[in-house]
Amino acid sequence: MAVKINENYLLLKSSYIFAEIAHRVDKYQNEHPDADVIRMGIGDVTRPLPKAVVNEFKNAVDEMGQADTFRGYGPEQGYDFLIEEIIKNDYAPRGIQLDNDEVFISDGAKCDTGNIQEIFGLDNVIAITDPVYPVYVETNIMAGRGGPMGEDGKYQGLVYLPCTEENDLVPALPQEDVDLIYLCFPNNPTGTALTKEQLAKWVNYARENDAIILFDAAYEAYIREDNIPHSIYEIEGAKEVAIEFRSFSKNAGFTGTRCAYTVVPKELMGYDGEGNPQALNPLWNRRQTTKFNGVSYPIQVAAKAVYSPEGQKEIKESIDYYMKNAEIIRESLTNIGLKIYGGVNSPYIWVKTPNGMDSWEFFDTLLDKAHVVGTPGVGFGPSGEGYFRLTAFNTLENTKEAMSRISKLSF
Ligand code: PLP
């Protein structure tokens, strides 16, 4: 008998959006070798690690090379020296009390937002905003929760919460009965953020409907406005209904270094088959201790240095740099009459394509006429059709040049 595969993998859309973009750009560059293509589609940071981080990182590597300071396996949940800094800096000043064992250090919010579904039953109904960071969707498909994709580009077993011009990209509460709700604010890809009042509606909904919110705050550091919560736990009662994901990738340039964390409050409960409440914190702890062996010591030391005064100063400079780019993109595109969202509390600018162009038509037009690459919105879900994502992660010079080229186009 031949080996059987997990057939859920066959339900996944074959081409991941960034592979298709790379393919089209390569083809274009082969045909137009002189075109100076500027990539504004990247979701990766470009500024280097802060010096304060690099210095501590190097010191920790040296420690690993000395017999008396060498460390082997660390705690799977992360070292207390980092967890304590996280609680002291990211939560306590906002009035949020957490115990060390409610914070789990990991090597990425991608893995955590992808793996979290393992601790939940397969028959839970999953709600996602549309457009969405694809990891939430695809990990549930792999697990068997999504079913096949329909003609409308939606996996039939998932509940989609459209975010479009009609609702100003703010998802409405679900009409259906849903169990797990993935929310990401500030949002990738739309760049929008929720105010405290808007997020409180979701927390209340979850409390009233026994749902759980999986809150991805990977872009928290980009929040500029006062009334935008940095953590879902700023909303009263959220600890009973929400898991929060954070990352050092986008605030401190750790995309290639890898460090993140997830908060699973002890109050948070799911239910077993008999209807008895079961705390989720020990389940996630069990999952992590079984399948994960912790983030390397030097990287956790490096992450701790993010919280040093020098580290904080440097990361603020980098974020200010990206947000200056975001402002330039916003201004340039608004000036030529394009409708845009985001870029105020986030490094993403979500553009409504002009003249009813679809996302890929707009992609091809910008590539051909301005040699600028962005990300077609439809790649993030069916409601992303007719939209396009630009990011503020390129250099100031390239951002200005790209905007100057786009500004010369007429739509
Ligand atoms: N969550 C969102 C919404 C993201 O956009 C990204 C990266 O682009 C991640 C998580 C991944 O973060 P990490 O680098 O910590 O895996």
4-31 per-position pLDDT tens digit: 999 999 999 866 688 889 999 999 999 9
Looking at residue 14, its pLDDT comes to 63
Q: Is 80 exceeded by the pLDDT of residue 216?
A: yes
Looking at residue 15, its pLDDT comes to 61
Mean pLDDT calculated for residue range 332-339: 97
Give the Å distance between the CA of 44 and the centre of ligand 1: 9
Residue pLDDT, tens place only, 125-146: 999 999 999 999 999 999 999 8
Sheet of 159-162: strand order equals 103-106, 260-263, 242-247, 212-216, 180-184, 126-130, 159-162
Ligand 1 pocket: which of 110, 136, 295 to mutate (most atoms <8 Å of CB)? Answer: 110
Looking at residue 183, its pLDDT comes to 98
Q: Is 80 exceeded by the pLDDT of residue 303?
A: yes
Q: How many CB atoms lie within 10 A of CB 317?
A: 11
Looking at residue 398, its pLDDT comes to 97
Annotated binding site for pyridoxal 5'-phosphate: 73, 109-110, 133, 188, 219, 247-249, 258, 293
> What is the chain's mean pLDDT, rounded?
96
C-alpha–C-alpha distance, residues 36 and 96, integer Å: 48
Q: Is 42 in the pocket of ligand 1 (CB under 6 A)?
A: no
Mean pLDDT calculated for residue range 49-65: 98
Residue pLDDT, tens place only, 72-87: 999 999 999 999 999 9
Mean pLDDT calculated for residue range 385-403: 97
Residue pLDDT, tens place only, 224-276: 999 999 999 999 999 999 999 999 999 999 999 999 999 999 999 999 999 99
Q: Which residue's CA is the closest to the ligand 1 atom numbered 2?
A: 218
Cβ pair 155, 146 in contact under 8 A: yes
Ligand 1 pocket: which of 107, 184, 247 to mutate (most atoms <8 Å of CB)? Answer: 247
Confidence of residue 147 (pLDDT cuts 50, 70, 90): confident
| Stated pTM of the model | 0.97
Amino acid at the residue 54: V
Q: Is 249 in the pocket of ligand 1 (CB under 6 A)?
A: yes
Looking at residue 309, its pLDDT comes to 98
Question: Nearest Cα to 105, choosing from 311, 300, 257?
Answer: 300
Annotated binding site for substrate: 16, 43, 110, 133, 188, 293, 389
Q: Is 109 in the pocket of ligand 1 (CB under 6 A)?
A: yes
